[in-house]
Chains A and B, each alone.
Chain A
Amino acid sequence: MTVMTTMERFKKVGPTMVYRECLKVLLVLLATLLPLASHAQASETDTEFYALVDQVASGSLSKRIKTVDAIAELNHTRSAAILEALQEGALKNARGKEGLVVIEIANDQYVDAKTGEPIIDKDLGRLKRVPIHNKLRGQIRTLLAQINLSSADEEIRLSAVTRLITDGGDADTAELLQSLKANETSAAVVEAMNTAIALYRIESDDATVRLYAVKQLRGSLIPEVRGPLKALVTNDPDKAVRIEAERAIDSIEGKLKMFRFGENVFFGLSLGSVFLLSAIGLAITFGVMGVINMAHGELMMIGAYTTWVIQQAFPNQIEYSLFMAIPAAFVVAGLVGIAIERGVIQFLYGRPLETLLATFGISLILQQAARSIFSPLNRAVSLPEWMSGSLQINPALSITFNRLYILLFGLMVFFALMAILKKTSLGLKVRAVSQNRPMARAVGVRASWVDALTFGLGSGIAGIAGVALSQLTNVGPNLGQAYIIDSFMVVVFGGVGNLWGTLVGAMGLGIVNKFLEPYAGAVLAKVLILVMLILFIQKKPKGLFPQKGRAAAD
């Protein structure tokens, strides 16, 4: 048929076209024939492969190590798929059907591990995951890296080479990399390959090869480079290599120092953003209204539990759960806050000691309520995919996504609150009442109503902070206690009644803390911060940014 049409066309179009057409036909023929040929031929490898898949799904862990090696060596088309599934815990034994091994590709969707065909039959019986341990995991990762070296995806290739660097290569890998390098298009992958090869050559017996390898490694930030270089500085018989290695180490360490400083600043800002989030609600209730609210931490706890409840209610929407949780937590914590204000605090204005005791009591009640409702055990809040992992800037510097988002989120909340206080009528009334209550009432502001709303606003923001905290720490009845002292510390340090002070105070304390920690240790750093704060308050009792004018009269 095809030949016929070609002949017809030959008459119409001239020889070059025909040549092309012929080639196409040939290619199509080849494409259809090839799998057939390999299929006919592969039946033997297939049976071997099927046997190995059965083997990997049964037997002991130590036996599995050998089987996994055999699967990789067989280099069947589905070898990589099996290894990946094993690595991710998706390879499962169907107990209901003898000898059926499946891969879970999505929730409740399975394919046959041997053929890769989807399984429509739902009656698989109880599925049991094929267990693996660390040794196996490491082995699979190395095997996959070797397979993935020729992957089409640049990122997969890069991570495969990086993996080989971590594992430490032998002569074979170095040769393999050398041959692959010629066809490599991505600069990043070539660089990684060079490092891997140089790392192998650094152990060469030839001093000139070593010297060249050391020169290549100069300035490389990959952590695996430093150990061997340091060893060269002290042990190498050749003086030139020793000097060059020392230079390389110096250049690396100079860069590292800079990145380490950057990393520390980020750590500090990130800790500061947690301080900011937990203190900002308090800056309203304590700073603006003057209520010492010891239950502030428990309002954060309520926000965190709200996140959990939302995730339980929509188990398939984990990726979006935080966006639902933020308004929900604001409303729930805000309502609880208003209830506390109307129920208890409104009778205690102007009596700070009683307020302190009453709100402390409320905090205990809320904690025990959480224990009774949600059990004393912590609840597992899952991290959406986009919150986990880190942004790799270079091998020496990476920023974790959850911290980055929380830092941005903290600033967003801060400026939103600022806008509410400065631009809305509620904000105006809040400021009026906090500055001069009788005067505000005289011009027609409903002071008690404003009090309730302000307290609700502060509490709602505490709830939002709880959503952020649920991504960092445990969601349990004790969540609030861990943050209440830090919150008060920040507000007092920044200056009561000044939101900007809260921002500067939070970030400042965060950074100081993170720069102290490497020298003093986490425990002593905390103590030092408190001591410094006490001394600071002695000197400036009204904090960093004291209120000026008549508002500060009291």
Chain B
Amino acid sequence: MILKQLAKTVGALGIACGMALSATTSYAEDETIKVGVLHSLSGTMAISETTLKDTMLMLIEEQNKKGGLLGKKLEPVVVDPASNWPLFAEKTRELLSQEEVDAIFGCWTSVSRKSVLPVVEELNGLLFYPVQYEGEESSRNVFYTGAAPNQQAIPAVDYLMNDMEVKRWVLAGTDYVYPRTTNKILEAYLKSKGVAESDIMINYTPFGHSDWQNIVADIKRFGSQGKKTAVVSTINGDANVPFYRELGNQGISAEDIPVVAFSVGEEELSGIDTKPLVGHMAAWNYFMSVETDVNDTFIDQWLKFIGDDKRVTNDPMEAHYIGFNMWVKAVEKAGTTDVDAVIDAIVGVEVPNLTGGSSKMLPNHHITKPVLIGEIQEDGQFLTVWETEDLVAGDAWSDYLEGSKDLKSDWPSMNCGNYNTATKKCVGATAE
């Protein structure tokens, strides 16, 4: 008897609970804005992308503490594309059509971005891409908060040429799209500055290359011709450690042949014994060592959020910080999270960056950023040795490449990402 009664109460309770639960979920659905986070948490890219996932969670948490957005709470939807490029496209589809997120923050490699691109365009989503890349792209649905080549590679080469008086150039890169395109741009740029073909050495290596003995020996030989030599490195990820180690072991120091890298940041350095790297350089738009109040606050926030005071901040994190704040501001400006309204509202939005200035979203969906050149120090931080006086506007189409120098991207006024100023036509989807 009692048992039956009990069963009944439990059952009733269960139903009540279930109803309450479904009620709260439907209530929550009404009251949250979903933000997709598309970063690999497993596989080869997890090393870099996990940090960006955490950054997004922190930014969203902070925004919610401030009262959310349009009176609603933000809800992160984290998916794991597992460093698998086709999976990036699938997960994007899932985020846009099943989860119905209002914006996606994600991707690291250019391949993953290229794989996501058709999906965000087809389903009219919003993607904020936080990593420095090779340029030559402008999509209505993508906002590029990382550096374009003219915001990283070109100023770095200028610095080496003018301040360090470098005459011979080694362009070393990992064999994939970003280094190949960047080096193509740099080669054209160097030649336009009167550097002879014989003073440029180009070298590509496979992903994760670990045996640098003869390449470093070649660089040493190339650099011993009596002219100041520098290495411009687009070597990616894991291949950097053995590269710098070999440089150190073969006795090449940063004063003799400096290496300026575009893919080595604080995060990468935290996994390296930095002794052989001291003095080598990197070009970024942000360094953790930049001394500004906003940066101090950001670092404190990050260390507190992640609960480990040995962690570092880096450039792509700043890009997410800028991108997220731009999106928030644009949504507030538009009064809705509707994608078309936000795309229209976000151009011209200006938010503070972490280096003391403020970055602006441009009509070509790239942003303005300062360019900093830093030398690696023993503690794995950078010492800023040079920076641009003004912010540099991101250029989607390089001025130094044959096919792209006539192209212009202007979404608000022309609704075109690749308008050809010579033929006065929008090239459309066929532009490469």
Chain A residues near B (Cβ < 8 Å): 61, 89, 129, 131, 133-135, 137-138, 141, 166, 223-224, 226-228, 263-264, 267, 270-271, 274, 368, 371, 376-383, 388-390, 392, 398, 400-403, 472-478, 481-482, 514, 517-518, 521-523, 526
Contact = CB atoms under 8 A, between A and B. Distances in A.
Contacts of B47: 376-378, 476-478
A348 B58 CA distance: 47
B301 interface: no
A137 B226 contact: no
Given A376-B46, A400-B249, A129 B255 contact: no
Contacts of A368: 42
Interface of B: 41-42, 44, 46-47, 50, 164, 175, 203-206, 208-211, 213-215, 217-218, 220-221, 224-227, 238, 241-242, 245-246, 248-251, 253-256, 258, 267, 270-276, 278-279, 281, 375, 377-379, 383, 385
Contacts of B256: 166
A522 B175 CA distance: 10
A541 to B, nearest CB: 28
A401 B248 CA distance: 11
Contact of A472 (B227, B242, B274): B242
Contacts of B204: 521-523
Nearest to B238: A474
B50 A472 contact: no
Nearest to A383: B273
11 contacts: A61-B385, A89-B278, A137-B254, A141-B255, A227-B224, A227-B226, A227-B227, A380-B273, A380-B274, A474-B241, A478-B44
Q: Which of A61, A380, A392, A514 has the most CB of B within 10 A?
A: A380
Contacts of A472: 210, 242, 245
Nearest to B227: A227
Contact of A482 (B208, B213, B250, B378): B208
A472 B226 CA distance: 30
B309 to A, nearest CB: 15
Nearest to B246: A400
Nearest to B274: A380
A134 B211 contact: no
Given A390-B250, A526-B206, A131 B377 contact: yes
B42 A478 contact: no
A522 B46 contact: no
A61 B375 CA distance: 12
A263 B214 CA distance: 8
Nearest to A131: B383
A46 B278 CA distance: 32
A400 B211 CA distance: 13
A518 B255 contact: no
A371 B204 CA distance: 29
A377 B271 contact: yes
Nearest to A318: B273
Contacts of A474: 238, 241-242, 271
A371 B214 contact: no
A220 B234 CA distance: 35
B251 A133 contact: no
Contacts of B175: 523
A357 B379 CA distance: 43
Given A129-B378, A380-B270, A473 B241 contact: yes
A197 to B, nearest CB: 17
A473 B206 contact: no
B164 A134 contact: yes
B217 A263 contact: yes
A273 B60 CA distance: 50
Given A267-B214, A474-B241, A378 B272 contact: yes
A226 B254 CA distance: 22
A274 B175 CA distance: 23
Given A134-B164, A400-B250, 13 more contacts: A61-B385, A133-B375, A267-B213, A271-B213, A371-B42, A378-B238, A380-B273, A388-B249, A390-B249, A400-B249, A514-B213, A518-B218, A526-B206
B273 A382 contact: yes
Contacts of B41: 376
Contacts of A381: 273
A270 B242 CA distance: 14
Contacts of B378: 89, 129
Nearest to A395: B224
Contact of B224 (A224, A270, A401, A521): A224
Given A166-B256, A227-B225, A526-B206, A378 B241 contact: yes
B205 A134 contact: no
A137 B279 contact: yes
B268 to A, nearest CB: 8
A98 B251 CA distance: 38
Given A134-B255, A141-B255, A227-B226, A522 B215 contact: yes
Nearest to B204: A523
Nearest to A371: B46
Contacts of B248: 388
A120 to B, nearest CB: 26
Contacts of A224: 224, 226
Contacts of B210: 274, 472-473, 482
Contacts of A477: 46-47
Contact of A390 (B42, B251, B253, B279): B251
A271 B50 CA distance: 33
Contacts of A264: 214
A260 to B, nearest CB: 8
A133 B376 CA distance: 9
A517 B245 contact: no
A473 B255 CA distance: 24
Given A377-B47, A377-B271, A472-B245, A226 B224 contact: yes
Contacts of A274: 210-211
A156 to B, nearest CB: 16
Given A228-B226, A378-B271, A138 B238 contact: no
Nearest to B281: A134
Given A131-B377, A376-B50, A382-B273, A473 B242 contact: yes
A226 B47 CA distance: 44
Contact of B279 (A134, A271, A401, A514): A134
Nearest to A483: B210
B206 A389 contact: no
A388 B245 CA distance: 9
A522 B179 CA distance: 15
Given A131-B377, A482-B208, A522-B205, A402 B249 contact: yes
Contacts of B44: 478, 481
A380 B272 contact: yes
B209 A522 contact: yes
Contacts of B227: 227
Nearest to A389: B249
A381 B254 CA distance: 22
Contacts of A226: 224-226
Contacts of B245: 383, 402, 472
Contacts of A475: 271
B216 to A, nearest CB: 9
- Counting from the closest, the 7 A-B pairs by CB-CB distance are A227-B226, A378-B271, A223-B224, A400-B249, A376-B46, A138-B255, A267-B213
Given A224-B226, A267-B213, A389 B238 contact: no
A519 to B, nearest CB: 11
Given A376-B50, A378-B271, A401 B249 contact: yes
A85 to B, nearest CB: 13
B183 to A, nearest CB: 14
Contacts of B385: 61, 133-134
A403 B205 contact: no
Contacts of B271: 377-380, 474-476
